[in-house]
Chain A
Amino acid sequence: MMGVGFPLLSLLTFLPLAGVAIILAVRGDQQTVASNARWTALWTSLITFMLSLVLWFRFDKNEAEFQFVERLDWLADFGVTYHMGVDGISVLFVLLSTLLTPICILSSWEAVQSRVREYMIAFLILETMMVGMFCALDFVVFYIFFEGVLIPMFLIIGVWGGQRRVYAAFKLFLYTLLGSVLMLLAILLLWYKAGTTDIVELFTLTIPPSLQTWIFLAFFASFAVKVPMWPVHTWLPDAHVEAPTAGSVILAGVLLKMGAYGFLRFSLPLLPVASAEFAPWIFALSIVAIVYTSLVALAQEDMKKLIAYSSVAHMGIVTLGIFTFTQQGLSGALFTMLSHGVVSSALFLCVGVLYDRVHSREIARYGGVAKIMPAYALVFMLFTMASVALPGLAGFPGELLVILGAWKVNPWVAFGAALGMILGAAYMLYLYRRVVFGRIARDDLRGLLDLSPREYAVFAPLIVLTIWMGISPQSFLSFFEASVAALVERHHAALGAARLAGL
């Protein structure tokens, strides 16, 4: 079998590796190598981003099925093919990954001075893995990308991280690996049962309910750790605090979405009965995550840790939305994933701006920054407001839809989600007040410079997106409406069929 048409998705996936090859080929003294590595990485990721814009313009929004499909023989004897394609659920995440990578590279232009070559290679490999994971339509191929992410991430945190980087890197790696290997066993079981690992073909498979429970638990072990859901979220604050700024951006922006994406792509369509059965538990865990981590965030003294806990709370809203099985809930979850990808990345970048200048993430170390860096204070405020879901900015439409979806299922669940919005406002505004307003806490802060042109360039696309997503959510929602509708319909049909069979 041959791929049909131009292999755009493969190009997007593997183009960064061409950049890696170029960087590896550069010879010369350290200065030359570093500067060449930076420029090559930037241009490679920018070209990848430009190419990925084709998806934005050429994606057929009325089509629920997979588009840009490619298929190649890979392990033909075992029913495994190299199968790539995107639908409404995954297409925007591909774009998010390709957008955030150049931003990360640009943001670490000056912050990373040691082993620049290896750093850039790690980020380009990471991009390959992320894009490949969102495009993969074969379970084995998906797993390879899903797990492969760990290698560059381990090195990024471990080599360029903070004080306790070794601990954080090991925790991230082993936590996620433990969850994922259990999923691998479930994949192997499906492979054996169906004789294929092609996701599209697997969707037509009806799995007996008793088996669904086990497979769901195995998937859950992997995805819940990645999301991360309470109580397996503890790796996230450590990883975020120790990671370099760009590492945190990718972690919050894309890697956290992998778990929720897994639920949407696999758990819901493949295991409708088990998903419905476990939904109350997921609601409970999500609400605990929202309330508990919000309260924990209130007590944080470290800026990055606070935003990390806020991520757990936001992802709680996402999982809650997914398991409502309603059009609104799923759309809201997807929208929240996207907006969180943009906004929390931007917030980590904001912390990075201060950290680059002062080398401290301690909240008490700052105060009165608004008087010294007014432009920065404005940018920071925009993203803070977006994070607390102020109407008109990116955070609002998603959370509103999730609450609407949850209301249909159970008003109390909706109440839990709404509680998250209130608490979110509390800790984010508290953070903003302590850092940006008030008296100038220390004299050495007076000498800080406001945003540099490079930093403006880093923030500009995120600012545009945040406002755009807030004002015109439909231009994003329209991408996944058809796919979500198909997913919801299929889910209810499958549940109906299972009930009939039960009678």
Chain B
Amino acid sequence: MNWMLALPEIVLACAGLAILMIGVVPRQNMFFGCTMASIGALVVTAALVLTVPDGTGFAGQVISDGFARFMKLLVLLGAAIGMLMALDFNTREGLDRFEYPVLLLFATLGMLIMLSANDFMTVYIGLELLSLSLYVVAAFHRDNEQSAEAGLKYFVLGALASGLFLYGASLVYGFAGTTSFERIALALVDPASRSQGLTLGLIFILAGLAFKVSAVPFHMWTPDVYEGAPTPVTAFFAAAPKVAAIALLTRVMAGPFAELAEQWQQVIILVSLASMVLGALAAVGQRDIKRLMAYSSIGHIGYALMGLAVASDEGLHGLVVYMAIYLAMNLGTFAVLIAMRRQGKAVSRIEDLAGLGKNDPAMAMWMTIFMFSMAGIPPLAGFFGKLYVFLAAVQGGFWTLAVVGVLTSVISAFYYLRVVKVMYFDEAQAPLDGRPATLTMVMGISGIFTTLFFLMPAPLVRAAQEAVSALVS
């Protein structure tokens, strides 16, 4: 048994338990201390992730390869920044309890387990650890009706999705006789073993995972949860778990079910098309910027899934690049959203941004960059994300996907532009409160990455290529 393969997860789990103890024992508020310790633990984990060798362990239940490493680093980055951004907000809103960073830490642990999974049992453990932690943090503002509602909704629908996933996994077990990814893949090489029941199980698994990535038609929870949860929680939801869930979906489809590509490809194409269209159209009428970002994330997932839908190496490569860029610009956008408070109260209507161009030119500039980047306007980073998935779609001859993709990106440009319009063209309102240095830093780093990505696209593109080649070989 090769313990080394799971070293990052083991270390993170132990650190989580230790931080929990540190939080409970002293009599004073340990929110700040625990957050810092958790971020430290994530950084150490990231360093360990880099040192883990390739291979499978724990009787084939855990895998470590280039794809897992790349995605884990993205997830750890997203999680650490997500925690950092909550520091100031939670203190001001009275949410400064030490459980918060600990829950996020365990959610991150769940994501790492999902990413190392090489067996449906491992997947489920990771998925549930992630989901249970997230249900709690969604309702973390427990005196707030909306937040409690968000938590409950997320829990009920999330439990349903987990049920679907589990049912699918058991069907697969029943028809393939194993839950191991490798053995499922081996079993499917023989065309005779590709039974209808297996396809049915695959569809259930797909439905469960589609819920986690909030792809249409399993997206209903997203706007409500995004709107109701405290903004830093929304920021966390939109970043790391999205990346982890998409990566898991990719591994499950490209790994055990690679032979069934014809079956799942149809589903993914439909899901991708529906997500792009709904993400573009439904966002147009939104007034709350968190709801807007929820629909925007649905649309982005549609673009990323386009890469999976074409079922080629180029497509997966596009997907990986897309998620990396999406993570970066999303964190920046949410840093702006978290900074939106007026007279001590968090605000989230789009009109609340009015006059930002006058009152806070720096933040308005970053937000403008993020919005144009999300719309996919060159030379910003978001354009390159779209470029690679569209390239893959064109190469594969998936013209419907490509044409719908570019048309919906024009429609979505409309609502991103509306945010810019409110900030610069509308009459100024009372200025927003000053923002904490942590958020300024996150905005700055993410903004510089988004703006200057075009200078050096090669490193990320190449790293993504290596990750994908590890997955498909």
Contacts and interface: CB of A to CB of B under 8 A. Distances in A.
A148 interface: yes
Interface stretch (B178-186, B303-311, B335-343, B401-409): B401-409
B377 A77 contact: no
Contact of A148 (B377, B395, B409, B414): B377
Contact of B394 (A77, A144, A158, A192): A192
Contact of A173 (B417, B458, B462): B417
Contacts of B394: 185, 188-189, 191-192
A178 to B, nearest CB: 5
A161 to B, nearest CB: 9
Contact of A75 (B402, B424, B457): B457
A429 to B, nearest CB: 37
A159 interface: yes
B307 to A, nearest CB: 14
Interface in A68-126: 73-78, 115, 118
B70 interface: no
A486 B357 CA distance: 50
B47 interface: no
Interface string A170-185: 1001100110011011
* A-B CB proximity, top 3 nearest: A181-B406, A144-B378, A188-B394
Contacts of B372: 151
Interface in A443-499: none
B470 interface: no
A147 interface: yes
A165 interface: yes
Interface string B291-334: 00000000000000000000000000000000000000000000
Interface string A137-174: 00010011101101100110011000001100110011
Contacts of B395: 188, 192
Interface of A: 73-78, 115, 118, 140, 143-145, 147-148, 150-151, 154-155, 158-159, 165-166, 169-170, 173-174, 177-178, 181-182, 184-185, 188-189, 191-192
A37 to B, nearest CB: 12
Contact of A181 (B358, B361, B410): B410
Given A151-B377, A158-B425, A185 B414 contact: no
Contacts of B425: 158-159, 165-166, 169
Given A169-B425, A170-B414, 11 more contacts: A77-B461, A77-B465, A145-B378, A148-B377, A154-B420, A155-B420, A158-B424, A166-B421, A181-B406, A188-B402, A192-B391
A154 B413 CA distance: 12
Interface string B375-404: 001110001000100110011000000110
A76 B458 contact: yes
A182 B368 CA distance: 24
B454 interface: yes
A158 B458 contact: no
Nearest to A176: B410
A174 B378 contact: no
A155 B424 CA distance: 8
Q: What size tier do the contact residues of chain B reach?
A: 20 to 34
B309 to A, nearest CB: 16
A115 B364 CA distance: 13
A159 B428 CA distance: 13
A75 B456 CA distance: 9
Nearest to A114: B358
A163 B413 CA distance: 23
B379 A75 contact: no
Contacts of B417: 154, 170, 173-174
20 contacts: A75-B458, A145-B378, A148-B377, A155-B424, A159-B357, A166-B421, A170-B414, A170-B421, A173-B413, A173-B417, A174-B414, A177-B410, A177-B413, A178-B410, A184-B387, A184-B390, A185-B390, A185-B394, A188-B394, A192-B391
Contacts of A78: 461
Given A144-B383, A188-B390, A75 B461 contact: yes
A472 B110 CA distance: 75
A188 B378 contact: no
Contacts of B465: 77
A139 B355 CA distance: 38
Contacts of A76: 458
Nearest to A183: B406
Contacts of B387: 140, 184, 188
B65 to A, nearest CB: 21
A158 B377 contact: no
A159 B364 CA distance: 13
A182 B403 CA distance: 8
